[in-house]
Amino acid sequence: MEYQAGQSCGQALFKVNTGTRDHEVSNLSWDWEIRGRNAFLIPASFVKNQRDRLVVCNSIAMSVINSVRGQHSERVFTFRKRPVARMYNTAWKRARAKAGLPCIRVHDLKHTFGYRLRAAGVRFEDIQDLLGHKSQQITRHYSAPDIDRLLLAAETVVELRQDPTLRLVRGGAPHNFHTERRILATQDLISA
């Protein structure tokens, strides 16, 4: 599968397949890539919980990465050869409107990844690691078996991609009656 579309859609597609935060996506640097491992190691200073974060890229996320490889010497995501400051921008707002989802938030993509992992039967501890939540599961020196296990877990959402039945919840309950439509249409947004 080879990804080709607008930059904002690429960031959204990457985010919904990695569970990264807006700040992590917009600052993603080629120096952080773990070559040959389908992963990035984001330094603690760029992560909400102030811990180094391993971001494992499934085949869709890697397709996005490979589609922008070589476009900028430092940053992964750019617009007109300049680093993107944040995902919530005019392009994001246009994509939401085009998909008929004006209320979807950038952060909803992270939640969607978590729910897709859960729907695929991924272990709670692996979901925790893939979403970058504080956990004791992975050591600072990320061993190859741990990355391989997490890559297999992240890849499970690719198989569910055709018909995900998901419900986005905040605080343990659906946040509004449009939730299911928004989540089910997430794929439409990132394909727009």
CA-nearest of 33, 59, 51, 39 to 137 is: 51
Q: What is the CA radius of gyration of the chain?
A: 16
Tokens of 112: 């969607």
Taking the mean position of all CA atoms in its chain, how far away is CA 80?
Answer: 22
pTM above 0.85, yes or no: no
- Taking the domains of the chain in order of start, what are their residue ranges? 7-191
Tens of pLDDT, residue by residue over 8-57, are 688 989 999 999 999 999 999 999 999 889 999 999 999 988 889 999 99
CATH of domain 7-191: 1.10.443
3-state DSSP percent of the chain in helix, strand and coil, to 5: 45, 10, 45
Tens of pLDDT, residue by residue over 64-86, are 999 999 999 999 999 888 888 88
Q: Pairing mode, if any, of strands 173-174 and 169-170? A: antiparallel
